[in-house]
Structure 1
C-alpha cells in the first residue's frame, strides 16, 4: 500500500509541471504580444502550488527583453487615471485660449480705430495744408498781377502788355486783348512811365481753386503833363482761378474799387 502511494506521488510530480505564462506589457504601440514559457517544478504539496499560482497572477514577472525603457511605460504619479497619461481633461485649456482670443480681438479693434482716426486726422491735416498753400499762392499772384497792371512804360509797352495778358484768363483776358492796341497807343503818345508797388494785400475768400484778393497799390506815374511824376493810389480787387494744367493762379476779373 505504501509503495502504491509513493508511485502515485511520483506520477503527480511528473504531471504537475507549472507553466508560467508571461505576456508583453499591454498598450505598447506596434508591438505584438509575445508569451514566454518558463517551466518550474511544483512542490510536493498542493497548497503551496495554489498560493504560487495566485501570487503569479497578481504579480507577473516581466521579461527585460520585452521593454526597451521600463520608465517609458510607467506612470510617474503612480496612478491609473487616464487623464494623467493622455493630458488634461478636455476643455481645461479653453478658458485661457478664449481669453487670448478676446484680447487679440480687442487689440485688433483698438488698432483699427487708431489707424482710422490717424487716417482721418492725416487727411484733414493734408487738406488744411493744401488749402493754406493755395491761398498763399493766390495772394502772391494777385500782388504781382496788380503791380504788372499799373507798371507800364512807353519804352517797353509791348513787353508790359504781354506780361499782363500772360497772367490773365477768362473775361478779363478777352477784354484786355480787345483793348490792347488802344492801350499801347495811349501809352506811347503820352510817353507814360508808371512804376507801382504793393502797400497791403488781403485775402477776401479762397480755397484750392478760387480766390478773391484786395490789393492796395501806390504808383508813380510820369507823362507829358506830369514829367516830374505824381503819386497815385489804387485799390484793386482781383478774382483769381487756378489753372488745372499749370497750377498757376490767373486773374479772371480786375476792377478798381477806390
Structure 2
C-alpha cells in the first residue's frame, strides 16, 4: 500500500518523449543563411564575380571592335596608297599620240568635284598639248599616308615627270609634290582631291 504522499501514485508512467523530425523542422524551420552567418559574404562574392564577368565581356567587345576597325583601316590605307601611286603616274603621263586614252584614264580614276573640274579643263588642254607635241612620263619617287579611315585616305606623293615638247626637245625633269585624297567608291579608290604643294 502506498502512502498518499507518495509522488508516484498520480504520476504518469515514465515514457520516452518522441518528437518527429517534421515537427522539429516545423518549430525551428530549416537552417537559413542568416542563421549560419555565411549568406551575406556568398552573395557579395557572387555579385562581384558577375560584375567582373560583365566588365570583362564588355572590355573584350570594345577591344575586338577596335582591333577590327584598325585592321579595316590598315587595309583601306594600303589599297588607297597603291591606287594613288597608279593614279599619280596616269596624271603625270601624257602622250599626244594617245591623248584621248590618257585623258580618259585620268577621268576614270577621279571622282566628285575633282573629276568635274578635270573634265572641263581637259577640253582646253588637249589643243595646247597637241600643238606643242607634249610628252610627259611620270614616276612616283616616294609616297606616304598622311591620314586614313575606312572610306578616305590622304596620301602625299613625290612624283618626277620627264617632259619633252617642241620648245624643249631635250627631256626636262619636273619634280612634283602632290597631296591626293582618295575616296572609296564601291570597291574602287578614286581621287577626290589633288593638290600640288
Query: 1:117-172 CA distances to partner (integer Å, 9 max, x unpaired)?
Result: 11111122222222333333333332222111101112221211111101112222
Q: Is 1:204 the counterpart of 2:141 in the alignment? A: no
1:165 aligns with: 107
Normalised to the residue count of structure 2, the TM-score between the two structures is 0.73
Unpaired segments ≥5 residues, structure 1? 1-56, 60-77
1:116 aligns with: 58
Pick 1 or 2: higher relative contact order, CA cutoff 8 A, min separation 6: 2
Aligned residues: 181
Unpaired segments ≥5 residues, structure 2? 1-12
> Which has the higher mean CA deviation after the structures are superposed, 183-192 or 83-92?
83-92
- After superposition, the CA RMSD in angstroms is 3.2
Deviation at 1:79, TM superposition (A): 8.7
SS class of match (1:127): helix
Deviation at 1:218, TM superposition (A): 1.0
1:83 aligned to which of 16, 21, 36: 21
Taking the TM superposition and a 5 Å limit, the aligned residue runs for 1:1-258 are: 80-83=18-21, 90-92=29-31, 94=33, 95=36, 98=39, 103-243=45-185, 246-257=186-197
Distance in 1 between the 2:150 and 2:134 partners?
37
SS class of match (2:94): coil
Distance in 2 between the 1:86 and 1:106 partners?
37
Normalised to the residue count of structure 1, the TM-score between the two structures is 0.58
Larger Rg: 1
> Which has the higher mean CA deviation after the structures are superposed, 188-197 or 113-122?
188-197
Query: 1:61-109 CA distances to partner (integer Å, 9 max, x unpaired)?
Result: xxxxxxxxxxxxxxxxx99343399779633264599466655444333
Distance in 2 between the 1:139 and 1:241 partners?
11
